[in-house]
Amino acid sequence: MIPLLLIHLIKIACVIGVMLGIVAYTVLAERKICAWMQDRIGPNRVGPFGLLQPVADGLKFIFKEDVLPHHVNKVYFTLAPMIAMIPALITIAVVPWGSQLVIPSVSHDPIPGVIANLNVGILFVFAISSLGVYGIVLAGWSSNSKYPFLGGIRSSAQMISYEVCLGLSVVPVFMQVGSLNLMKVVEYQAQHTWLGFTQPLSCFIFLVSAFAETNRLPFDLPEAEQELVGGYHTEYSSMKFAMFFLGEYAAMFMASALMATLFFGGWSLPFAPFNAPAQTLTVGLIHIGIFLAKVCGFLFFFIWVRWTIPRFRYDQLMTLGWKIFIPLTLLNILISGVVLAVITK
């Protein structure tokens, strides 16, 4: 028997390890896929097929000189990349990776496939991920120069706007499920149908807003190389820059995990034995595999879109968020409410 605390620590270590591993390889995947899409080969020098490229990149970042420009506010300048990185690592705690793991030699009760089974799950995710904007705003402000500042201002306006869309777009999902607990959301989908099919509008708006929240193309206005010279991280170098980079990809991972969990069944597949909590260890591990496969699918989608669609103009971004998505989400909530009232009657 292993004490419960140790089980929790092992789970946290596994989740963070796997997540950061996937994040590192997403960077490689991004470079490879963009190369293929542009009819190039991509990184292929380090290791077989360039598979050791992330290791080389990491070492390079660590050994590079850490430039601290004299005009920056040193405390916030150092703090900002940390803040940018942390929210994605915290919020992954409430996302169920699998149903449960039954290991009798380790614990009597099945081990749940989620670190923290919070009742306010999704609200917690939104609350913590809304802190991510501070990393970018502080980076822009503390850099104390024009372009990072403009990038920071743009970013905070963009992220606040799309947070509203993101929050409102998932309301119909929870009206249908009747709980904010992500574990329950997945179990509902395992028993009934994937919410992506019953709430297509929610799903679409959530997906687009997630692109905006993670600052990915076509919403990468905070960076906008051509106008802002890289935006908020212009002044950053070495590992501090790498942390912004990792933060962006970790946020992408988190957004993909939420897409999979909320709209595409999380760890479940719509047939036995994958549509019910696992009774054996093998099925439990396969559930985790299914979840990770779905997440990787969405990560691929993120990369695919980035190298396909050009950037929005700033006014288009704001029009889309405030004049199109917010009315649509409100309408969606109204329609879902009426339909649910009629059905349950």
Q: Name the site residues for another protein (rule: CB under 8 A).
A: 76, 118-120, 123-124, 126-128, 130-131, 133-134, 137, 141, 149, 152-153, 156-157, 160, 163, 167, 178, 180
C-beta closer to another protein: residue 51 or 164: 164
29-33's contacts with Cβ under 8 Å and 24+ in sequence apart are 29/299, 29/300, 29/303, 30/303, 30/306, 33/300, 33/303, 33/304, 33/307
Answer whether 336's CB lies under 8 Å from 175's CB: yes
Minimum distance from CB of 274 to another protein (Å)?
A: 29
Shortest distance (Å) from residue 165 CB to another protein: 13
103 backbone dihedrals φ, ψ, rounded to 5°: -130, 90
Q: Decide: helix, strand or coil at residue 220.
A: coil
Nearest approach, Cβ of residue 123 and another protein (Å): 4
State the nearest-atom distance from the C-beta of 255 to another protein, in Å.
Answer: 16
Residue with Cβ nearer another protein (90 or 269): 90
* DSSP state at residue 112: E
What is the rounded CA–CA span in Å between residue 59 and residue 82?
A: 19
Give the span between the Cα atoms of 186 and 142, in whole angstroms. 42
d(Cα 282, Cα 36) in Å, to the nearest integer?
Answer: 36
Closer residue to another protein in complex, CB, 131/201? 131
Which C-beta is closer to another protein: that of 13 or that of 334? Answer: 334
Residues near 319 by Cβ (< 8 Å), separated by ≥ 6? none
- In angstroms, what is the minimal distance from the CB of 78 to another protein? 14
- Comparison of 79 and 296: residue with beta carbon closer to another protein: 79
C-alpha distances (whole Å) from 152 to each of 75, 84, 89, 314 are 17, 12, 22, 14
User: Among residues 53 and 214, whose Cβ is nearest to another protein?
Assistant: 214
Q: How far is CA 108 from the centre of its chain?
A: 33
State the minimum distance, in angstroms, from the CB of residue 137 to another protein.
6
The two structure tokens encoding residue 304? 């695919």
Q: Which is nearer to another protein, 128 or 283 (CB)?
A: 128
We find the least distance from the C-beta atom of residue 161 to another protein, in angstroms, to be 11
